[in-house]
Amino acid sequence: MEHSKQNNYFHQLSKLRRKPLTVAGPCSAESCDQVLETARQLKDLQVDIFRAGVWKPRSKPGTFEGVGAEGMQWLQEVRQELGMPVATEVARPHHIETALKHNIDVLWIGARTTVNPFAVQELADALRGTNVPVMVKNPVNPDLSLWAGAIERLWAVGLKDVAAIHRGFSSYEPSEYRNQPLWQIPIQLKGQYPFLPVIVDPSHIGGKPEFIFPISQKALDLDFEGMMIETHPNPAQALSDAEQQITPQVLGDILAKLQVRSLPDQAFISRTEELRQKIDRADREIIEALARRIRLVEQIGEDKKQNNIAVLQPERWKSIFDTRKEWARQMQVNSKFAAELYELIHLESIRVQTEVVSGKKEEE
């Protein structure tokens, strides 16, 4: 698949304005007046794409599920009056058909749809032969392959103008965020597809207005192309996601504060290359140390086999976790990171010893 940033619709929009791509608008289109009032204010802020959902996938029936096709007419009025590109979410082939009949400029696939490859393929098939730009939100669960697979399905039917939206991931763990950022996943996605525009949805990650600026700034620091931010003229009265939407005025303040990092000069590149070479040497030393550790673990496994001792020794591993975290703290290394690292080392040590004790290592 041959793609480039230069020819992508989303990159071109950003390049024209010489600023990060900004997609903004209400979570839901609630009335024609609400849509137009919001869009007029966002036009003054030079927002690139006006967004509003008309079909809303909700967890429970009986809640506001969007105004449906009627909202398409309101988005058309935004295009006609203000000349702004407009975007909405699609989850079924007939959504796409309706959106295209109303000349909707950009479509996005939501997190609850991305998680289902059958649904994504149906949407891809419905989009075959069109050239409409499509944004793909990450799936609800932290699965990079599902996200990448949804994007590749769109490329496979000939779509070129595709972007990814990082909106965070559901988790049972307590968190200050509505959805865990898990930045490593979109970073891996950008690593796999350097030409793919990736924007952040701080509204869904944070779930509260106070998180929108820091999440947006972190995304720009990570070289994301822009943001999708839910914006409503009266968030307290919003029919969906009232707690995470902000007013256009607040959005303007946030956009004014955001900083785009400069491109590196030659001196910076030279200094960075020298440091990267040192990092490469340090990484090799880490791998060599791990190799030595594994050889020692194999010896312990052999001793346990000869003496018929169980592989898992909980007291020993508790001691390892406690001491390694303390060593990390003393050496100014994040102790949580050290604990996570030794969790992986623990699992690998158990695997190696189990192979030795079972005789599988010898058979190989």
Q: Is the dihedral of CA 71, 73, 74, 80 positive or negative?
A: positive
Name the helix (H) or strand (E) containing 140: none
Q: Which percentage of the chain shows pLDDT scores above 70?
A: 94
* Tokens, residue 204: 């869904």
* Tokens, residue 140: 């609800």
| Of 49, 61, 40, nearest in space to 17 by CA | 49
How far does the chain reach from its first CA to its final CA, in angstroms? 39
Single pTM value for the model: 0.79
Give SS3 for 229: strand
**Domain assignments of the chain as residue spans, ordered by start:** 9-257, 266-363
So what's the pLDDT on residue 226? 94
Q: Which residue type sits at 358?
A: S
Residue 1 pLDDT more than 70?
no
Q: Which residue type sits at 33?
A: D
Name the helix (H) or strand (E) containing 355: helix 335-358
Q: Which percentage of the chain shows pLDDT scores above 90?
A: 72
Write out pLDDT tens, residues 117-159.
Answer: 999 999 999 999 999 999 999 999 999 999 999 999 999 999 9
Q: Which residue type sits at 322?
A: D
CATH no. of 266-363: 1.20.59.10
Pair 208, 161: CB distance under 8 Å? no
Instruction: Give the C-alpha separation, 199 to 20, whole Å.
Output: 9
Residue 6 pLDDT more than 80?
no
CATH no. of 9-257: 3.20.20.70
| Of 135, 170, 159, 171, nearest in space to 21 by CA | 135
* Tokens, residue 195: 């030409």
